[in-house]
Amino acid sequence: MTVLGKTQSFYDEESSNRRKSFLLVLIVMALMGAIGFAIGFAIGRTVTGGEVGIAVAVIIALVISLATYYTGDSLLLAASSAHEVSPNDVPQLMNVITELTIAAGIPLPKVYIIDDSAPNAFATGRDPKHASVAITSGLLQKLDREELQGVMGHELSHVRNLDIRYALLVGALVGSIALLADFFLRFTFFGGMSGGGRDRGRDSGGGGLAAIMLVLALVLAVIAPIFARMVQLAVSRQREYLADASSVELTRNPVGLERALATIAADPDVLEVANRATQHLYIVNPIKKFEKRASGMMSTHPPILDRINRLRELSGQPPLDPKTTGALQGLD
- Strands of the chain, DSSP E: 2-3, 6-7, 82-84, 110-114, 121-125, 131-136
pLDDT number for residue 10: 52
Residue type present at position 278: T
Tens digit of each residue's pLDDT, the chain (332 residues): 443 333 445 566 556 656 766 776 777 788 888 888 888 887 777 888 888 888 888 888 888 888 888 998 999 999 999 999 998 999 999 999 999 999 999 999 999 999 999 999 999 998 899 999 999 999 999 999 999 999 999 999 999 988 888 888 888 888 888 888 888 887 777 655 554 444 444 444 456 766 777 787 788 788 888 887 887 787 788 889 889 999 999 999 999 999 999 999 999 999 999 887 788 899 998 987 766 665 555 677 888 999 999 898 887 888 887 777 777 777 76
Catalytic residue among 147, 155, 249, 313: 155
- Residue 113's SS3 state is strand
Question: What predicted TM-score, i.e. pTM, was given to this entire model?
Answer: 0.81
Task: Count CB neighbours of 270 within 10 A.
Answer: 15
CATH fold group of domain 75-165+235-318: Zincin-like (3.30.2010)
pLDDT number for residue 290: 61
Residue type present at position 180: L
pLDDT number for residue 48: 87
Burial of residue 48 (number of CB atoms within 10 Å: 0-12, 13-18, 19+):
exposed
Domain ranges (residues) in the chain: 2-68+167-231, 75-165+235-318
Decide if 51 is catalytic: no
Provide the pairing of β-strand 131-136 with 121-125.
antiparallel
Please tell me the distance from the alpha carbon of residue 251 to that of residue 24, in angstroms, as a whole number: 29
pLDDT number for residue 94: 96
DSSP for 173-240, please give it: HHHHHHHHHHHHHHHIIIIITSTHHHHHHHHTT-HHHHHHHHHHHHHHHHHHHHHHHHHHHHHHHHHH
Provide the pairing of β-strand 2-3 with 110-114.
unpaired
